[in-house]
């Protein structure tokens, strides 16, 4: 049987702040932009559960958060510290998984099918993982368990914070039925609005929907949504293996959805990459882009060329084509990067290992 887990850290950035300063525990803590006495621009990155009691949440304007609870502890985003902590967590988790896929700074899918043979064993295993994370990092997490990614993720969201939840295959339809369609895995804001307009409000409505109508409205994505509504998901946990590669990244001053700005950053990164590729005497076979959204979720997408190349145009064109798959989402992006791999050294004098950029 296939057993997938989704481990997601609780109130991650704020939990990291509590770790740094234990005296914050029990107080409402908001991490994000500077509230500037209520006139600050920018948004809440996250807040602890104390602060959530006042209605504060991720993505909310910081000025609104300040209005809701002006005497909360407001802290700036200490990205470096959170990513260091994240790396420690991910290292621990990797040891428990046969296949491991990190999907955000604080979240990863794990295929543990080889490690457990039953649902009971899966629950016990999740407890061990949760305890290990807590004892080694002092940070709480939640774990969802199911026969696929969709069920693992949805179970985790349902049990948050500080819990473990298993959804058995035979319970899946009933578990999902009462949820609003916006909660369904893979359904973004725009799709949610469209679904509601068409009369699909709950996942239950999607379960019962006429498949032809859904496909007429949404194409193959319509069929996939109905599968998801029924708790069916074939997506595999895809190992994020580290490739020997050369890459560049660009972090935007302000999170942006502006296409010109994003393409400009891709081109600038490509130019940096080709500089290194040529200087180090390589050609490459694969181009990958990495997108980090404003909410710190990440997407990696790569494409292999027909033959080895060392041209800037190949990097640029491939990177832009790959980005087009995401462009219509219109979501704000925090950071974007380009990377080439499948490297071939021109001369035998240089050892590839000397040129691996993490
Ligand atoms: N984040 C952000 N802006 C968002 C969403 C998230 O900056 N709109 C950052 C801060 C979060 C981290 O990413 O701590 C992880 O996001 P989660 O959605 O997993 O939220 P939390 O871990 O903060 O809370 P939860 O306990 O609900 O998982
Ligand atoms: Ca989280
Ligand atoms: Ca998360």
Atom of ligand 1 nearest to the CA of 47: 23
| Tokens 């699909």, residue located | 200
Indicate which residues carry an active-site annotation: 107
Q: Find the mean pLDDT for residues 266-272.
A: 97
Is the distance from the beta carbon of residue 142 to the nearest atom of ligand 1 less than 6 Å? no
State how far the Cα of 303 lies from the Cα of 272, in Å rounded to an integer: 19
96 lines ligand 1 (CB under 6 A): no
Query: What is the CATH number for 116?
Result: 3.30.70.270
pLDDT tens for 127-146 read: 999 999 999 999 999 999 99
Final residue of a structural domain among 43, 62, 78: 78
Q: Is the confidence at residue 353, as pLDDT, over 50? A: no
Residues near 219 by Cβ (< 8 Å), separated by ≥ 6? none
Span from the CA of 138 to the centroid of ligand 2 (angstroms): 15
Does 242 score more than 80 pLDDT? no
Domain that holds residue 284: 245-357
161 lines ligand 1 (CB under 6 A): yes
pLDDT > 90: what percent of the chain?
84
By the 8 A CB rule, do 64 and 32 touch?
Answer: no
- Assess whether the C-beta atom of 295 lies below 6 angstroms from ligand 1: yes
- Please count the structural domains in the chain: 4
Calpha distance 222→322 (Å, rounded)? 23
Q: What is the pTM of this model?
A: 0.82
Answer whether residue 237 is part of any domain. Answer: no
CA of 120 to the centre of ligand 3 (A): 25
Mutation test of ligand 1: which of 13, 31, 58, 254 has the most ligand atoms closer than 8 Å to its C-beta? 58
Do 18 and 69 share a structural domain?
yes
78, 98, 120 — which closes off a domain? 78
28-77, pLDDT tens digit by residue? Answer: 999 999 999 999 999 999 999 999 999 999 999 999 999 999 999 999 99
Q: Of 229, 253, 273, which residue sits at a domain end?
A: 229
Q: Quick check: helix, strand or coil at residue 265? A: helix
């Amino acid at each position: 049987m296939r057993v997938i887990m989704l481990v997601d850290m609780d109130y991650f950035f704020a939990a990291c702040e509590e770790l740094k300063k234990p005296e914050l525990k029990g107080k409402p803590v908001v991490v994000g932009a500077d509230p500037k006495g209520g006139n600050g621009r920018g948004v809440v990155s996250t807040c602890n559960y104390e602060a959530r009691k006042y209605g504060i949440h991720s993505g909310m304007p910081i000025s609104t958060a300040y209005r809701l609870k002006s005497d909360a502890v407001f802290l700036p985003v200490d990205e470096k510290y959170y990513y260091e902590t994240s790396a420690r967590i991910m290292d621990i988790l990797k040891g428990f998984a046969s296949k491991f896929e990190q999907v955000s700074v604080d979240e990863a899918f794990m295929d543990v099918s080889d490690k457990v043979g039953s649902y009971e064993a899966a629950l016990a295993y999740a407890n061990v993982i949760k305890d290990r994370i807590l004892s080694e990092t002092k940070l709480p997490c939640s774990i969802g368990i199911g026969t696929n990614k969709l069920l693992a993720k949805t179970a985790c969201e349902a049990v948050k914070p500080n819990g473990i939840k298993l959804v058995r295959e035979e319970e899946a339809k009933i578990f999902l039925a009462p949820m609003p369609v916006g909660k369904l895995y893979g359904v973004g804001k725009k799709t949610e609005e469209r679904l509601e307009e068409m009369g699909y409000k709950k996942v239950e409505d999607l379960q019962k929907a006429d498949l032809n109508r859904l496909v007429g409205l949404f194409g193959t994505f319509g069929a996939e949504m109905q599968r998801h509504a029924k708790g069916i998901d074939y997506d595999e946990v895809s190992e994020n293996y580290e490739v020997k590669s050369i890459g560049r990244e660009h972090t935007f001053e302000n999170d942006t959805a502006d296409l010109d700005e994003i393409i400009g950053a891709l081109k600038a990164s490509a130019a940096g990459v080709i500089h290194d590729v040529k200087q180090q005497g390589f050609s490459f076979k694969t181009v990958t882009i990495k997108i980090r959204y404003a909410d710190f979720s990440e997407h990696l997408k790569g494409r292999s060329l027909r033959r080895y190349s060392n041209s800037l145009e190949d990097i640029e064109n491939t990177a832009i084509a790959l980005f087009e798959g995401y462009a219509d989402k219109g979501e704000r992006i925090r950071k974007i990067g380009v990377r080439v791999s499948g490297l071939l050294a021109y001369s035998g004098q240089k050892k590839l290992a000397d040129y691996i950029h993490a």
